[in-house]
Amino acid sequence: MQQEAIAKSGLEILKMMKTDKCRLFVPVFLSFLLCLCVSSATGGEGFSPSWSKGDRWLVEAVYQSVSDREAWSAPVYWEYRVVGFEDLGPEKYLVLQVKDYNGNLRLETRLMYRASDLSLARVEIKKMRRGKSVSRVLTWERGGPVRTEQTLSPFDTPVFPLILTSSTDFTIKKSVGTGLKATRTVRQEVRCLSGSKDLSGDAFKKGLIEVKCTGDDGEILFVQSWDKDLPWPVSGMNGHMKYRLVKNW
């Protein structure tokens, strides 16, 4: 009902735009109207993805060359699967398993999100190196965006819910040595998009939600575009990779 009221008001205003001067404001007004519709659709408390056990989707990723910043790798496809919930101490976690869909890479990533707010708490990485299985565990405290590191499977995670339109600063603490921690401020900006293309440059969709996370040194940690009806970003990128959702089973 709220969306219908917004649309009706928009049509009435457009009918009054008869002069050339008013017509100049039509594109601006339409973008504003779209933002209102998206905001209404995501609800007053913002947007968070909805995951259930058994959900799975396919993500395509390409990687930037170390020697040539203009060159990108061939696509790699990752299958994400929600395997269920797991209790560790007082906290309940929602667990996602990530595997190379084509089986060319012997790499698995296990993502553990706090069920209460979908903040990324723990990442377990398993890969083969010189014929031996090597494991690594990464952990994060609650209260800040997380950028993908030490694995090829994307797990950039903003702070949910995504509130339109907002700009929020988060202070992140990270271990840099035994007993030592460094602090960093990360700004998360959320806005609605009037249109966006995926990595192939073909698809065009209106009404996406963009989230951009930037460090206090100006470095862009990652940028993502979300569709409220999908479980993973429609597209995203960080300093090392670009990725896009290609299938949702």
pLDDT tens digits, 140-192? 999 999 999 999 999 999 999 999 999 999 999 876 667 777 889 999 999 99
Residues 170 and 204 in one domain: yes
Collapsing DSSP states into helix, strand and coil, what is residue 115?
coil
Residue type, 106: R
- Report the range of poorest mean pLDDT among 17-21, 59-63, 230-234: 17-21
What is the C-alpha separation between 41 and 228, in angstroms, rounded? 8
Q: What is the pLDDT of residues 27-63, one digit of tens each?
A: 444 444 445 444 444 445 799 999 999 999 999 999 9
Q: Is residue 48 included in any domain, yes or no?
A: no
205 & 121 share domain = yes
Domain that holds residue 243: 56-248
Q: Same domain for 122 and 25?
A: no
Burial group, residue 225, by CB count within 10 angstroms (0-12, 13-18, 19+): buried
CB distance 212 to 223 below 8 Å: yes
How does pLDDT run across 59-107, given as a tens digit for each residue?
999 999 988 888 999 999 999 999 999 998 889 999 999 999 998 898 9
CA distance 166 to 192: 10
Supply the pLDDT for residue 38.
Answer: 45
Give CA–CA dist 164/33, Å, rounded.
Answer: 13
